[in-house]
Structure formats: C-alpha cells, structure tokens
Structure 1
Amino acid sequence: MDVSRLLDLAAQHFNDERHLIPMYLHLIASALFPIYAGAHASLSRPSSAAKSAKKKRRSSEAADEGDDEDEEVLQKLEGMSPRDAVIYPIVAAVTLAGLYYLITKYGARAINLIFGWYFAVAGVFSVAKLVSDAAVVAISFVFPTYFGWSGRLYRVDGSKKMAVIVHDVAAEAETGPPGAMVPAWTKTFFDVIWDIRAAIKLRYTVAMRIGNTPDEKTNFTIIHVLATLVGISTSAYANLVAKPWYLTNLQGFAVCYTAFQMLSPTTFTTGSLLLGGLFCYDIWAVFFTPLMVTVAKNLDQPIKLVFPRPEEAVKIPFAPPKRQYSMLGLGDIVLPGIMMALALRFDLYLFYLAKQRKKTAQQGDAVGSKEGKETEVEVIQKAPYIPVTGYLGDRFWTARLPASARPAKLNASFPKPYFYASMVGYTIGMLTTLVVMSVYQHAQPALLYLVPGVLASLWGTALARGEEKQMWEFSEAVDAEQVEVGGEAGKEEGGWSLDSAQTWLDMWDGLLKLIGVRERSTEVTSGKDASATEAEPAANEKAGKVEARGKQVDSKRDDVLFRFTISRYKAEQERDDSGPSDAAKDIAGKRE
C-alpha cells in the first residue's frame, strides 16, 4: 500500500469519526483533571527542606480564627514495597476472575447491590473531600486574606472587620471598617458579609474519648459539614434513585482525587515495577480473555468514568435514538497517576535539594581528649519550607503587585519538569489508545499505551537532565527526621506495644463495667503504698489534667466510658500584639 493510499484512508476515517472528537477531548480532560488536582493536593514538606520557621502573630490575627494558621501538615501516604508491586497484579487478576465467575453464574444484580453499598461508604468520604477542597478554593476568591489595590497590599482582619495596609517595613496603616461613612443600610449589609465570612472560616474541634484512651481530636468547619452532606446525598441518590453518568463521574473523580493523597509507590523503581506488572495484566485481561470487558459492562459502580457518545439512529421506525457510552476505568487514571504524583513531589524535592548549602560548624573532639579541642565539621543547611499549594484566591487578587511586595507564601513556586513530562507522556498514551480503538473498533487495554508513555517520559527526562542517579535513589519512606518526637516516641506506627495493648484492655474493661459484669474498683494494685494511693487522686483532681501517652487526658472523669465534645478551635500558640505583621516582615526580608 503506497503512502497516498494510506493518507486517503486516514482522511476518510477522520471524516467518519470527526463527530466523536468532543467526546474524546472530554475523556482526556476528565482523566487529566483528577491527576493534576490530586498530585498537587498531595504535596507537603520534602525531606530536603527544613521545617517552616515559627512566626509570632498578633493577637488580632490569632483572633481571626478563619485565617490560615500556617500549620505544617505532612501527608500520610500509604507506601508500597517491591513485594507489593509484584503481588498487586496477581491479586488484581484473581479478583477480576472471581467477579467474572460470579457475574456469569449468578448475574450482576446481587453483586451490584453489595458493591453499591460498599462504594457508597467510600463515596461519602471521597466526595466530601473533593467538595470541601473545591469549596475552600472557591471561597478564597470570594473572601481572600490578602489582596492588592492601587499598588498596596492589604490584609483582611476579620476580628476588627477591616483591612490592614502593609505599606512598608516598619508600620501599618489601617482603614476604617467598610461602610463607616455610608448609609446605615449599606453598613448593615457589610456587617452581614463580615458575619458570613467569619461563620465560613470559623473552625471547631471534635474530641472523642472511649474509656481511658487519649482524646481523638479533629478540626472542622461548616464547609466540611456541608460537604459531608453532599457526599451522603450523592451516595444515597446513586443507590436508591438513579445513577446518571455525571453522578458516576463525580464519584469517580472523588475516588481518584482521594487516592492520590493516600497512595504512593515510595520509589520510582517500585512504581516502574508495579506499572510493568499491570501492563502485562491489562493485555491479558482484555486481549486474551473476556474478563475485563464483561466485568466493566456489568458492574454499575463508580469504578469507571462514563462518557456519552453522540446519539445514533436505529433501524426500527419511530424508535428513539440509541445512546451509547464510552468507559475509562479508574485504574487507568489512579495507577499511572500515583507515579505522576510521585514525579511532582520529586520536582519539589529537587527544588529544595538545590537550595541546600554546606555550612562549617564547631564540634567537640570525638576522642574526648582532656584539652577539649573542637573540630570543624560540614553540616547541611536546609532552606525552610514554604507551602507551594493553596492561597489561590490571594495569589489572584495580588497578581498585579510586584513579587517584592507580597509575602513569601504568595510567591512560592518551583519548576516541574518531571511532572509536566509525565503529563505529556500520559496524554500521548491516551491519544494512542483512542486512535487504535477507533481504527479497530475494539476495546483496548489503556495501560498498554499509558505505561510506556509515562515511564518513558519520566526516565527519559532523568537521562536528558543527568539526574538518573537522584531519581533511582529517591524514596518517600519515612525517616527519623520526618517523625515528630512525642509521647509515643520509639513506637512503630501500626506496631504492637504495651501502650496499645493497655488501650484495648482499658476499652474492654470499660465495656465490662458498662454491662455490669465487672464492678468499679477504687483499689490500686500497682505496688504503691496507701498514702501514695490516696494522694494521687487529690493531686490529679487539683491539677485537672495529666499527660498520658503523650496526650492530655482528663483525669477528673476516669469513670466516663464514652465522651464526645465539640468546641471552638483554639490555636496552640498565643501570638503577641507587638511589632509589624508577618507579611511586613517577609517583605522587609526581601528588600534587605
């Protein structure tokens, strides 16, 4: 076949399939959106950066509880080992075969019912997480903390209902509260706006305690409550009323978005091994068996994204047009996506690695001689971490100001060569999948094209930049530097210890007391004398609270089996009201 004939066939095929281009663009954008958003949401301080410097805030800023507290949050990702990467494709194949057998033997109705409620529970959490994060971003544009106007940087002070001008290093000038010189109805309107802003940003703390276990605390806002209601409503509608394609896609987006903040291949070698195994698994499941296609068509669950195809006319007279759908499994998004999210975190790691400096420090003689000589040693000085995500509304409203006039957190950015390279490779793989599927009119294993696209783009970028060694050695395994030392120091996460055993024993003891099997005893059998035994309750009653296993436990109510409280969030550190604001200090440092 000559080239001209091949080009004619390609042009004819493009003309026949041109009506599907909007659907294909919709599919590609829907795959890239959760990857981009979830990968950025997974960012936190890398091991190559130091902790952010603690800054004192003015009491007015602390009182404005809705404003950011600049608290450092480390993402807790579930890592993988090479053993997990080898076993995962095998487990996936066995699970797929089991589902295929159940569907062909008993039908898909019962399985859909069981899986429907299972995914409903997961969907509530995922949708609530996606909706709450999206709402926080949208609110940052409506109620920003910083904004620029007439060449000045303003900071909104919700406690005083006014905006503060950060105009130079040493001083701040304050404006009057909005609506002070306007008619009363306008002032009332602005007061309502301020109240709405305060209600949206106000945080609460939920504390729950069972028996003598430490209080489990979490913070939330009204946005989290509303987002949870949206998640519950979505799952209830999908399981009790109907499952429109857009509702299925919303749940699918949410699952992908949440997965990127929970899973990590830990290293590029483990991730490459995982994708290589899934590459073979997908080819086997689609080309050599009917398993994948049968299960995907019969399981009506949020394990795929659904895209409506253009309506096609039917041959039956007066029959309505037939609507068909194209599908994309969530595995084709999540599995390459966790590797792409790892690439983004690697970009952040390299950025702070390049900012590290060697510093000479004095250290005592290791031999411990009597002369007490000191030796000079080289230590690595890390740059303090500045959050690179969030503040989208503040960045937007201060975009016209020069970088030197904005706080450092509004200028934080870093190059992303590996992440963008993986996005390009993923897009090329997705386009290849759609073209081949369109030409052969047969379902295609997307990982057959996505895995080479992502892996070739990542390792190729490392070879081109001469950073293959750093990429090979990079690991997100938790090291001692990233673990906070607290009351449970030395205790392995997820491991069994005396404290964890005592916790479960306390819970069991409380349950026995509740049902009346065991009576409450005031005797102490820990080997202490009677005087100490009598003195301890009085001391604890007077102190009010004692520290147990690194956390504050209310010792006044040791007989309480279950407690649940909701209180207003209280910052751990009090801020003084002297000196310029943090924004002014940041700008002053830049000018110096």
Structure 2
Amino acid sequence: MADMNSILESLLPIVEQLKDMQPFLPTYAHLIVSALIPIYTGAHASLSRPSSAAKPKKKSKVESDSEDEEEDEGKDTGSKMEGLEPSDALMFPLMAGLTLGGLYLIIKWLKDPSILNKILSFYFSQMGLFFAGALLRDGLKVLRSYIFPTTYSSGGHQWKVNQSKRIFASIERGSDTIAIERTSPLPGFLGAIPLPATFRNSFWGLRAVVYQKVQLRIKALTSFKAKVRIDMLDVTAAISALVAVTYFAFFAKPWWLTNLLGFSFCYGSLQVISPSTFTTGSLILASLFFYDIYFVFFTPLMVTVATKLDVPIKMVFPRPAGPNEDPNEISLAMLGLGDIVVPGMMIGLALRFDLFLYYKYKSIMLSKKESSAEGAEKAVYQRATGGWGERFWTGSNASKLLSFPKPYFYASIVGYISGMVVTLIAMQFSQHAQPALLYLVPGVLISLWSTAYFRKELNSMWSFSDMMADEESKENIEEDKEKEGKKISTKAGLFARIWSGDLKSQLDNVEAKKDDEHPNKKSLVEKSSSDEETSEASSNDSIPSNTDAEVEKCIFSLSISMPRRKV
C-alpha cells in the first residue's frame, strides 16, 4: 500500500503539468499541422522521374490536355535539385554558427534591434518575393484545376475540354461510340445545372483567360536574352507576392504574414536543396543535431536571435498567456524554419526513394510478364505531381494510376510528429526553450533506417542516390555542352562550389550554349570546300558591320506575343 501511495505521489506533478498543458493544446496542434503542410507539399512538389523509370513518349499537341501538360513533360526528365555532399555536413553547422554569432554580436552592439530588423527585412523580402510568388502560383494552379479542370468523369463518360469550340466532348472508346458534347463549362454534376447563355459565355471567357499564356521576349544590350511564357496566374501570384512582401517589409509584421513567408521559404527550399544520399542526409542531420543542442542549452545565442529579430526565419503562433505572463500582451510560440527544412530534406528524399522503388519493382514485374531476355525493360514514368482537380473530378481510378506506395515517407512523417510531440512535452515540463532537432533528428532517422531494416531494403537505401541519372539522361548530358562545366563541380559540396567560383562556370556554360544555337552553320562549313570557306568568310566579314550596329542600338527590347497551339 505504501508503494502504491509513493507511485501516486510521484505521478501528481505529471498530472498537474498535463492540466497546465491543456489550454496550449490548440496552439500545439496548430504548430504541428503548420510544420507538416510545407513538408508534405514541398516533398510532393519535388518529385520527378526517377532513374528506375523510362522516359515517357512526348505527346502530340492534339493529345495533350493543356499547355501546362506539355510544359510539365520537360520537368520530369530528372532531378534538378542542389545535391548536398558529406562535406556539407561540416560546413552547415559551421556557417550557421558563424552567422548566429555575428547576429548576436550585432544585436548586443546596437542595443536596439530595430535597425537590424529593417535591414534583414529588406534582404529577406528579395528572396521572399520569389518564393512567395512560386507558392501562390502553385496554389492558384491547384485551385484552377478544381474549378476549370481539363477533363472529368460524369454520366459514365469521360469528358475532355475543347476550348476553341467551347465544349466538353466525351472521349471515344471505340469506333462505334458516338461523341457527345456538353456546352457547360462547369465540371461533373455542376455541368447539369442549366445556365443562361450570358453566364455560360462568361464562364468560358474566364476559363480562356486563366489558361491563356503570353510569351515574353526580353533583350538587354548584347549580354542578356530571355524568353518565358506566363499566364494570368503567374501575374496574379507575382502581384500578390509583391504586395505581401512590401507590406511585411515597410508597414507591419502580423504573425500570419510571417508564417506565410516562412511557409514559402520552406516550400521552395525543399524543392531546391536535398542530400544526395541517405548517408549524407544522416550526417547533415547528425551535425545539426549537436549544433542545435549546443547553441540552445549552453549559449544564449539561439534564443536571443530568435526572440529579438522579427524576420521570416521562424513561424509564430498565438498562444494563451502563461501563469507568470501579462494576459494583456500577445504571447507567441515559435518554431524555427530550420526545424522544418532540415528534417524535411530527409522526408522529401524518402518520398523520392519510394517513387524509385515503385518503378524498380514495377519494371521487374513487367520484365517477368514479357519474359524479357535482357531483363532491363523499365516501366514508363507517369507524372506523380499536379492535376489535383482532374484527379478529384475523374474519380478514384485516375487517382490510383498516379498514386504509389509510400512506406518510407509515412514512416518519416510518423517519426517527425513523434519528435515534435516529445519536444512540446519537454518544453512544457522544463519551462525552457528546447532544441527541436534534439528530438526530431532521432525520430526521423530511426523511423527511416528501421523501416529499411524490417523491409530488408537496407542495401537499396544505402546505395540509393537522388542525383543518379539513367542512360537516357547521361546521353543528353554528354551531348549538351552546358552540362560539361558541372561534371567536376557537382562532386564538391554546396559551399565548396560557391567558394570555388562555380557561378562563373555557369556564365561560361551560357556562352557555350550560344555557340551551339546554330548547328546548321557548323554543318554547312564542314561540308563546304576550302574555296567556299574562304568566300563565306569574306562575305561574313562584311555582314557584322551592319548587324553589330543594329545590336548596339538596341539597349532594351521587350516583345509580347500570344502563342497558338498547333493542331
């Protein structure tokens, strides 16, 4: 009986802490969900064709559902992310520590961080404009796919849009099938709603506007040329991002706008930076694990910089005031962006590993069915990103075709949530700021490597490389001179490439690409005789005097055109 009483007495402090924690549960739930959303969306947005899948055949202009689909075909040719190497495991905590120490000294020297906040706000606004624009653009494209999908299923038929005729036509499954047309621009059951001609035409016109692309050609002197296609969503996203960043930098910094910019930084970073292998990722997480512990527990640097600076390097969440805090003041819970991006890199790598394994095993099954002698036939890649509205309106069959098993991704998500919950509990009991990576790193790494152990895929996980190219990609790289300058530099780490002046090599590649823009000229010169070469040279010498003069006159030019689809 005495033992039971002692056990109950020892549990009383825990029960009291749980009661005190109850008012903070909505805030903690908000924090966890807000951390998971950029990880989930950023990881899925980073998907591209793995080396275990065959490159799909290019669709014709007629077969393509939209111009977006035509452009996205080029995006799935392989990973274009910045691969982190083992040397970055040393450089990341070193550079982060130097930056953190420098900011801490500046704050102590100025005594008023408002000046530093203004400088950093202007600096982050430049990057925030790009990342926020990309986030808003992708969000608007998802919304467009739900309101105006390119295809949908209804009444036992699958319907595909024909914008030029302003109809939806059923897809013919056989020669005896009679094509049926719908004049309503609304998808699914909404198409059965009778609309007046005025509203119907207005919806078709709005649909044309949000899908219409405009091609911009920009030339500045002789050193800069650019050609890009944009649509109304790109313009809307750019204007909205500019308004948001300007308001944040020069007017006010509400918590929701800070979180929006922080969300966009995380979303964009997870599509740009990734460890090249699981071992490299584990080394980077382990180094930042010790970095976080040292600067939170043993120095005041991390807490001081996080609380004094009001810039989008963190996410903040309103929470109830604590027992020793003024209830009239707004209390905020904080989560650093590093606690999202650093584990998120490994979670994104796990999702791409799932996609790699899916096509690897699918290719093996296809080889067995077709009794392939070589056994090297690859399954054709299907885009695993985008088309959310089309998936919704076409039903579960289309979703199954685009989905794939994700055991490593879900395991890492479970590990991340577990680490976050332990972090919040430790913070509640200790009443002190906690290094989140102290709990997140073991949660993510243990969940990933233990999953590989129990699935008996440790060898595959160990040898997997996110930067690995297949045979088709290697041929393209050898043919493209632009890639030759990166063969040596990609072996070094991210910081090593920056310090070695790798940006200059990219400029050299642009110049090399300009030389390759006219291959017909080179073939003509090779086929011509020596006399013809001399005559061509003499004639060419007389031409540049006029063309160069015209180019020099052109300081800046901008042309806008509306490309038409070829039928």
- Tell me the TM-score normalized by structure 1: 0.79
* Mean CA deviation greater in 294-303 or 100-109: 100-109
1:194 aligns with 2:204: yes
Asked whether the equivalents of residues 52 and 72 of structure 1 are also in contact (C-alpha less than 8 Å), the reply is: no
1:539 Cα deviation from its structure 2 partner: 9.8
For these two proteins, the number of residue pairs brought into alignment is: 512
Asked whether the equivalents of residues 367 and 376 of structure 2 are also in contact (C-alpha less than 8 Å), the reply is: yes
SS where residue 46 of structure 1 aligns? coil
Aligned to 1:165: 170
Q: Deviations over 1:415-460 (max 9, x none)?
A: 0000000000000000000000001100000000000000000001
Aligned to 1:289: 299
Q: Deviations over 1:115-135 (max 9, x none)?
A: 110000111111111111111
* Mean CA deviation greater in 89-98 or 169-178: 169-178
In 2, Cα distance between equivalents of 1:269 and 1:286? 26
Asked whether the equivalents of residues 51 and 385 of structure 1 are also in contact (C-alpha less than 8 Å), the reply is: yes
In 2, Cα distance between equivalents of 1:470 and 1:440? 41
Gap change, CA 1:209 and 1:380, over 3 Å in 2: farther
1:65 Cα deviation from its structure 2 partner: 4.7
Q: Which amino acid aligns with 1:327?
A: M
2:419 aligns with one of 429, 448, 453: 429
Q: Deviations over 1:474-510 (max 9, x none)?
A: 1122536435355536622358679928949x9xxxx
Asked whether the equivalents of residues 255 and 317 of structure 2 are also in contact (C-alpha less than 8 Å), the reply is: yes
In 1, Cα distance between equivalents of 2:71 and 2:8? 65
1:492 aligns with one of 477, 485, 491: 485
Aligned to 1:398: 394
* Mean CA deviation greater in 284-293 or 212-221: 212-221
In 2, Cα distance between equivalents of 1:499 and 1:377? 46
Gap change, CA 1:351 and 1:502, over 3 Å in 2: closer
SS where residue 376 of structure 2 aligns? strand
* Mean CA deviation greater in 243-252 or 198-207: 198-207
Asked whether the equivalents of residues 85 and 270 of structure 1 are also in contact (C-alpha less than 8 Å), the reply is: yes
Aligned to 1:482: 473
* Mean CA deviation greater in 73-82 or 269-278: 73-82
In 2, Cα distance between equivalents of 1:214 and 1:117? 26
Identity across matched positions, percent? 40
1:322 aligns with 2:322: no
Asked whether the equivalents of residues 271 and 339 of structure 1 are also in contact (C-alpha less than 8 Å), the reply is: yes
Gap change, CA 1:15 and 1:200, over 3 Å in 2: same
1:273 aligns with one of 277, 283, 302: 283
Q: Deviations over 1:373-419 (max 9, x none)?
A: xxx9735111111001111111111216xx3xx5xx87211000000
1:356 Cα deviation from its structure 2 partner: 1.9
1:310 Cα deviation from its structure 2 partner: 1.5
1:106 Cα deviation from its structure 2 partner: 1.5
Asked whether the equivalents of residues 256 and 333 of structure 1 are also in contact (C-alpha less than 8 Å), the reply is: yes
Asked whether the equivalents of residues 166 and 172 of structure 1 are also in contact (C-alpha less than 8 Å), the reply is: no
Aligned to 2:524: none
Asked whether the equivalents of residues 78 and 264 of structure 1 are also in contact (C-alpha less than 8 Å), the reply is: yes
Q: Deviations over 1:65-95 (max 9, x none)?
A: 5666552304521111101112111111121
* Mean CA deviation greater in 251-260 or 557-566: 557-566
Aligned to 2:358: 351
SS where residue 482 of structure 1 aligns? helix
Q: Deviations over 1:204-242 (max 9, x none)?
A: 222333455584322211111111111111111111111
In 2, Cα distance between equivalents of 1:57 and 1:461? 43
1:139 Cα deviation from its structure 2 partner: 1.1
1:217 aligns with 2:217: no
Aligned to 2:498: none
1:565 aligns with one of 556, 559, 563: 559
1:32 Cα deviation from its structure 2 partner: 0.5
In 2, Cα distance between equivalents of 1:498 and 1:231? 28
1:386 aligns with 2:382: yes
Gap change, CA 1:539 and 1:199, over 3 Å in 2: farther
1:233 aligns with 2:243: yes
Q: Which amino acid aligns with 2:561?
A: S
Aligned to 1:82: 86
Asked whether the equivalents of residues 313 and 322 of structure 1 are also in contact (C-alpha less than 8 Å), the reply is: no
1:313 Cα deviation from its structure 2 partner: 8.3
In 2, Cα distance between equivalents of 1:341 and 1:105? 40
Q: Which runs of 5+ in 2 are unaligned?
A: 186-191, 487-501, 515-530
1:334 aligns with 2:341: yes
In 2, Cα distance between equivalents of 1:53 and 1:67? 13
Aligned to 1:99: 103
Q: Which runs of 5+ in 1 are unaligned?
A: 361-375, 507-526, 542-553, 576-592
1:47 aligns with 2:45: no
SS where residue 565 of structure 1 aligns? strand
Gap change, CA 1:530 and 1:130, over 3 Å in 2: same
Asked whether the equivalents of residues 66 and 202 of structure 1 are also in contact (C-alpha less than 8 Å), the reply is: no
